[in-house]
């Protein structure tokens, strides 16, 4: 379990497995121990400098294909480093969300009727299935891109003479590594072998961080979405819940017409409504913390996404290398899906928060308007200003933003192609 089963974490087995905390640790997004954290940050930082050095080195040598390809990888590495850094800086928020998931957010006690509980269980099963499908799909895409980088370089070294300089490491640039990097004194065996290790390690850390960051976002978003669905369902079925609670407390069902137990039923109805309002308040507070944590990562996704997709498309179109043309589609697919994930879940969360304000109107509230009206006003007030994720405070991630990213990528691609 890569340390995730340690008693120090205090999570139950369901949370460890469903949220894949071990994988979060392996990706450097959730602390395992200080040595692994130091290794992960040190190796990632070195990757940024070696890739940046290679961009400058290849540009000065007028090897524009290598410079452009390495700049593309450098931008991805910078984004992943940012994701990792923010995850550690906001560790208390990650911990808060995981603890809330571990405790199942909120307990309704006896205020949920059996039919509503059955629907909630179905929603939970659907949530787990969606998480598994989305996570596996993205991991597969990133794995294909990472393996493709390594296989491409091996094929070039083995079967072509023009894959690298005649003496690799000349001018301190290592071209035969999976990712071309700049290592001082790499014309000697010691630094050269170190450079090879760092290049392979860069492929691994970039791929793992991309997998971990996106899949963690998916898991947290799905959990918040499910809680909002439960709140919606609870408000819509509040009268059935009140009937259920009345039967438990007073040993008899409440009659469908006004009767001697109306006052008792109103008390039960009020208790059920209070539970829903409390649950909604808890989810709003957790969402605000989640929003703080994702503010910078979403900025890199939205504003760098267009540049990354554009660079991938430009490499696909302009490169004369057959291996590059085979490799780039996997990069483009992963980058498109990566951007789409963040935008799609951002829109889903906003829409669900907005819909909650109208759910009590779907119940037969006119009969019990005196009891229900204050809570209807509270829920409507909570939903009046839509809860939205934000990309650095500049824009909101949604499907419209995804369309803007694609338009930006297309415009940049046209500009680059016309400059050829």
DSSP state letters, 64-131: HHHHHHHHHHHHHHHHHHHHHHHHHHTHHHHHHHHHHHHTTS---TT-S-HHHHHHHHHHHHHHHHHH
Name the H helices within 319-368: 322-355
Confidence (pLDDT) at 265: 81
Mean pLDDT over each residue of the chain, to the nearest integer:
82
How far apart (Å, rounded) are the C-alpha atoms in residues 113 and 118? 9
How far apart (Å, rounded) are the C-alpha atoms in residues 123 and 247? 26
How far apart (Å, rounded) are the C-alpha atoms in residues 226 and 234? 12
> How many Å separate Cα 103 from the centre of its chain?
21
Q: What is the token pair recorded at 44?
A: 């990632």
pLDDT tens, position by position, 253-300:
776 554 556 788 888 888 988 998 899 999 999 999 999 999 998 888
Q: Are 150 and 203 in contact (CB under 8 A)?
A: yes
pLDDT tens, position by position, 129-168:
999 998 999 888 888 888 888 887 777 666 665 444 455 6
Q: What is the token pair recorded at 343?
A: 């935008």
How far apart (Å, rounded) are the C-alpha atoms in residues 105 and 285? 12
Q: What is the token pair recorded at 229?
A: 């669905």
pLDDT tens, position by position, 16-51:
888 888 888 888 888 767 788 888 888 888 889 999
Q: Are 240 and 115 in contact (CB under 8 A)?
A: yes
Confidence (pLDDT) at 118: 92
Residue 157's H or E segment, with its range, is: helix 114-159
Q: Are 301 and 340 in contact (CB under 8 A)?
A: no
Regions of the chain with pLDDT less than 50: 1-2, 4-6, 162-165, 258
Residues 6+ apart with CB under 8 A from 234: 108, 112, 116, 241, 272, 275, 276, 279
How far apart (Å, rounded) are the C-alpha atoms in residues 387 and 392? 15
Q: Are 84 and 44 in contact (CB under 8 A)?
A: yes
Q: What does the DSSP 8-state code read for residue 33?
A: -
How many Cβ atoms sit within 10 Å of the Cβ of residue 387?
A: 19
For residue 192, list its beta bridge partners.
none
Confidence (pLDDT) at 306: 74
């Amino acid at each position: 379990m890569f340390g995730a089963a340690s008693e120090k974490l205090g999570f139950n087995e369901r949370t460890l497995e469903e949220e894949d905390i071990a994988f979060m640790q392996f990706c450097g997004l959730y602390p395992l121990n200080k040595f692994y954290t130091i290794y992960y940050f040190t190796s990632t930082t070195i990757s940024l400098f070696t890739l940046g050095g290679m961009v400058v080195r290849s540009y000065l040598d007028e090897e524009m294909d290598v410079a452009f390809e390495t700049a593309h990888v450098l931008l991805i590495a910078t984004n992943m480093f940012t994701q990792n850094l923010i995850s550690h800086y906001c560790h208390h928020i990650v911990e808060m969300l995981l603890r809330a998931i571990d405790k199942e957010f909120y307990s309704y006690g006896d205020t949920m009727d059996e039919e509503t509980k059955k629907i909630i269980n179905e929603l939970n099963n659907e949530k787990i299935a969606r998480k598994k499908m989305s996570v596996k799909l993205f991991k597969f895409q990133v794995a294909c891109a990472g393996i493709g980088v390594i296989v491409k370089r091996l094929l070039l070294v083995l079967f072509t003479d023009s894959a690298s300089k005649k003496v690799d490491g000349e001018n301190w640039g290592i071209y035969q590594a999976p990712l071309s990097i700049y290592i001082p004194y790499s014309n000697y065996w010691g630094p050269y072998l170190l450079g090879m290790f760092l290049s392979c390690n860069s492929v691994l850390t970039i791929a793992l961080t991309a997998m971990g960051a996106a899949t963690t976002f998916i898991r947290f978003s799905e959990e918040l979405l499910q809680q909002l669905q439960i709140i919606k369902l609870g408000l819509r079925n509040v009268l059935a819940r009140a009937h259920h609670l009345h039967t438990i407390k007073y040993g008899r069902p409440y009659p469908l017409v006004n009767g001697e137990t109306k006052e008792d039923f109103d008390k039960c109805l009020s208790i059920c409504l209070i539970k829903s309002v409390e649950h909604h308040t808890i989810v709003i507070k957790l969402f605000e913390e989640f929003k703080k944590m994702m503010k910078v990562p979403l900025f890199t996704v939205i504003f760098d996404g267009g540049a990354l997709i554009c660079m991938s498309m430009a490499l696909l179109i302009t490169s004369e290398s057959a291996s590059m043309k085979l490799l780039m589609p996997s990069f483009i697919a992963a980058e498109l899906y990566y951007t789409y994930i963040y935008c799609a879940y951002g829109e889903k969360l906003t829409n669900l928060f907005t819909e909650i304000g109208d759910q009590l109107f779907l119940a037969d509230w006119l009969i019990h308007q005196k009891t229900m009206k204050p809570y209807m006003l509270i829920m409507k007030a909570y939903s009046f200003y839509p809860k939205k994720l934000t990309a650095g405070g500049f824009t909101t991630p949604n499907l419209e933003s995804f369309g803007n990213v694609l338009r930006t990528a297309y415009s940049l691609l046209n500009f680059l192609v016309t400059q050829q």
